[in-house]
Every structure is written in structure tokens, then in C-alpha cells.
Amino acid sequence: MISIQPCRRARLFFCGLVLFQSIGCASPKASFFHKPKEKQYFTPTNFSGDTRLPVNLHRVILLPVSGGSIVPPETAATIEEIFVTELQKQLRFEVVRLTRADCQRRFGAPDFSSVGALPHDFLAILGHDFAADAVLFVDVTSYRGFRPLILGVRAKLATVEQTRLIWSFDEIFAADDPAVGSSVRRYYGSADPSGIPIDAGHGGLQSPGKFAAYVAAATFNTLPPR
């Protein structure tokens, strides 16, 4: 039988007690003082324009969304419907929509890109026929209609008189960007008037239409204020 000296037993007991306290207390303290990471939200930065809208700008013509070779006309038309709704929510100005059929009849094409060649006196004709003060171009620059969703938007607001650029925007929104994901959830979480958060994880980040609604809102929110 092995015997342990009294003083040695005391030292072992003391060491064991210290070890127990260090194991039992270190973990709760670490978790108690640990600060969770703050959510990062996506803020568009690639835009420029006037600090405020011109005082004489009241009516704006929204041209058909141009998909170019990025998306077929049917997809561009669907995105256009969503962008019209979100633009009207901004209440920046009166929105007059130029339909694809009317654009085809007047100018021989269903849509025009903001970086492409325009028909002669294009802006002047629109301004005269619709009593508009400015024209808004919207182009789709990137698109993926399946997860992870992607939507790139280029937009320009130009005055009819003197053809002056008031605002321009060019950004790509990717659903797999954590900051974009947080922004989509916040957008839908605060959109329900009842105050009940909407599960955007299974909606805005998976549905191309709902994702486009967030993109349109984020895009037009950068328009100059009144």
C-alpha cells in the first residue's frame, strides 16, 4: 500500500482545486464577455449625381428595361414591372412609363441601353410628347436566376433639356455576399406593416422576383432627394 505524506496531499489538493477553478470559470467568463459580431449591410457606393433633384423636375419617363444579351426580353419585362413599382414608392417625381410596344412603334426598337446609340432627337421627342422633364434608363448588366442569385444594374437619369446627367448608378448585387444577404433580410423584415418579420432566407434570397425588388429599392434609394 502506497502512503502519501500529509504535506504532499495538501499540495495535490491545492493544485487540483486551482485546476478545477481555472477550468470551471474560464469558459463562462469568455462567453460572458464575448461580443457577437455586428451585422454588415450592403451599401451601394458606385453612383453619383446632384445633391438634390432640380426644382423644375416633376415628370420622368421610365424607359423599358434593357437586357441586351444578358437576359431575354421576357425576363427584362418581368424585371421592369418590379422596377416600376419600386420607383413609384420613392415618391421622387411622377413616373411615366414608356411601354415596349410604344418604344418599338416610335423608334423601331423595344428598348435602348444607356450606353448605346440613340435615335436622333430621342430625348427631345420624348420630352415633347410626354411633357417630361427627364428620362430614366435602366440596364441589366449581370443576371443569374438561380441560387446564388445575381442582378447587376446600370441606371442613368438625364434631363430632356440640355441633356444633362442628374444621376448615374452601376452596381452588382450578389445574394451570396453576406452583406447583401443581411440587407435582403432587413428589407423584407421591415416591409411587413404588421411588424412580423418575413422569412427572406427562403424568399428574397431564393426568388428572382423578390431579390429584384430589393435590388430596385436599393438602387432607387440612391436617387438625389428633393
CB 61 within 8 A of CB 103: no
pLDDT digits (tens, 9 = 90+) for 194-220: 555 555 455 899 999 999 999 999 999
CA distances, 217 to each of 89, 104, 134 (Å): 9, 28, 20
Q: Which residue bears the cell 469568455?
A: 30
Beta bridge partners of 158: 135, 165
Q: Are strands 134-144 and 150-159 parallel, antiparallel or unpaired?
A: antiparallel
**pLDDT given at position 146:** 95
> Within the chain, which residues score under 50 in pLDDT?
1-2, 4, 7, 9-10, 12-33, 191-192, 200
Q: State the sign of the Cα–Cα–Cα–Cα dihedral 186, 188, 189, 190.
A: positive
Helix axes 178-189, 208-220, angle to 10 degrees: 90
**pLDDT given at position 189:** 87
CA-based angle 219:211:91, to the nearest 5?
40
- Distance, in Å, from the CA atom of 64 to the CA atom of 107, rounded to the nearest integer, reads 12
**pLDDT given at position 39:** 76
pLDDT digits (tens, 9 = 90+) for 125-150: 999 999 999 999 999 999 999 999 99
Count of Cβ atoms closer than 10 Å to residue 191 Cβ = 14
Integer-rounded Cα Rg, in Å, for the chain is 28
**pLDDT given at position 12:** 42
**pLDDT given at position 190:** 57
For domain 47-220, give the fold: Rossmann fold (3.40.50)
| pTM for the model | 0.80
* 46, 99, 209, 198: CA torsion to nearest 10: 90
Give the up-direction half-sphere exposure of residue 195: CA atoms within 13 A in the CB hemisphere. Answer: 0
Q: Where are the domains of the chain?
A: 1-35, 47-220
Of 65, 84, 87, 85, the closest CA to residue 76 belongs to 65
**pLDDT given at position 170:** 98
